[in-house]
Amino acid sequence: MTRSTHETQSEVCESEHIQQDVTLLSAKARALTENLTVYRAIPQQQLRMVGPWCFVDHFGPVATKNYRQFDVAPHPHIGLQTITWLFSGELKHLDSLGYEQPLRRGQLNLMTAGNGISHAEVAEQNLQQPLHGLQLWCALPEQHEQVAPSFEHYRELPHFAIDDVMAELILGKYESYRSPGTTFHPCIAMLLTTPKNAQATIKLNKEFEYALYVVSGSLYLTHPTNAKFNQGHGAHEHEVISLGANRSELTLAFGADTRVMLLGGEAFPQPVTMWWNYVSHNAERIRQADTDWQQGHARFGKVAHYQGERLLGPAIPAGLGVSTSNRKS
């Protein structure tokens, strides 16, 4: 998917590189289209990045009648990997490499933008379920930022139990399990689900930063303890628990009908800049990509079978790459 063309400010995404107190944050509601409101978990002022994860939007559920005409026109990406993860509904991915791939619940569409790709997403025919999912962006490390673009689709991913909770490994590895999706930097994306009250102890990599996003239901921390969670408050739908780094395990109590996305990874040594649909360690690469897209440069190719015009972005800001957030020094 694309960020809204109304979002004209660039983001500087970086990590704190430390273990921090457990922090509870709320995702911010944003109108992406007339019928589609998203909840932005990352980036926000208090959580710019989690390992390489620089962008997390939660969309839906949107009734089938309201997304029957769902149509995200061709738009460009550089310097990242994108995952559209569906809990229900169907979309079709079309890109400038020639792929036309339907996406359904539990399947992985992993697009590596690298030096440049364009793609579109449209509603599938014969819709039966509401549209509900997450859009995840994983920034590429500087040494791999300009790799050739690629696309992968997987119908099956590792499923396993962690105590009383079911886990679905979307990207990265967890103990002996490994996702088939290609990664360029140590990271993990794992969905945790339970239909009933349950508890699980999650093993963590002390070198990783972590965050938990509550898609639905409720979540409580048993260990480590924290004042914001000790009195039964917990975290609920559209809330984020930021954990920082230097932890080896985490014990969680889940309410009934709970879905939680665990994201983690090694922090980048330097911040990345994100503007519109571009991510880079070098702001000048974003400026060049924007010029190339506006001028129809061959690096972004064409989405051959898309019926309609491509999407043009907002005017690039003069201060691209300059942070406007109040981060710690």
Q: pLDDT digit string (tens) for 100-131?
A: 999 999 999 999 999 999 999 998 877 889 99
pLDDT class of 68 with cuts at 50, 70, 90:
confident
CA separation for the pair 45, 291 (Å, rounded): 29
CA separation for the pair 66, 85 (Å, rounded): 19
Would you state the pLDDT for residue 319?
76
Instruction: Give the closest residue to 55 by CA, choosing from 32, 81, 76, 33.
Output: 81
The top-level CATH class assigned to 11-266 is mainly beta
Structure tokens at 181: 């999706």
Pairwise pLDDT comparison (228 vs 7), residue with the higher score: 228
Q: pLDDT digit string (tens) for 263-305?
A: 999 999 989 999 999 999 999 999 999 999 999 999 999 999 8
CA separation for the pair 37, 33 (Å, rounded): 7
Compute the C-alpha angle 169/175/176, nearest 5°: 85
Tell me if 75 is assigned to a ligand binding site: yes
Would you state the pLDDT for residue 127?
82
DSSP per-residue codes, 183-202: -SSSEEEEEEEESS-EEEEE
Residue 176: half-sphere exposure toward Cβ, Cα within 13 Å = 3
pLDDT class of 4 with cuts at 50, 70, 90:
very low
169 in Cβ contact with 175 (< 8 Å) = no
DSSP per-residue codes, 51-91: TTEEEEEEEEEE-HHHHTT-EEEEEEEBSEEEEEEEEES-E
Residue 103 three-state SS: strand
Instruction: Give the closest residue to 114 by CA, choosing from 55, 184, 15, 170.
Output: 184
Would you state the pLDDT for residue 30?
87
Residue listed under structure tokens 């709970």: 258
Highest mean pLDDT: which range of 20-24, 98-102, 226-230 = 98-102
Structure tokens at 273: 């800049």
Tell me if 93 is assigned to a ligand binding site: no
pLDDT of 200 > 90? The answer is yes
- For residue 144, count other CB atoms closer than 10 A to its CB: 14
42 in Cβ contact with 53 (< 8 Å) = yes
Tell me if 207 is assigned to a ligand binding site: no
pLDDT of 56 > 90? The answer is yes
Residue listed under structure tokens 């921090």: 20
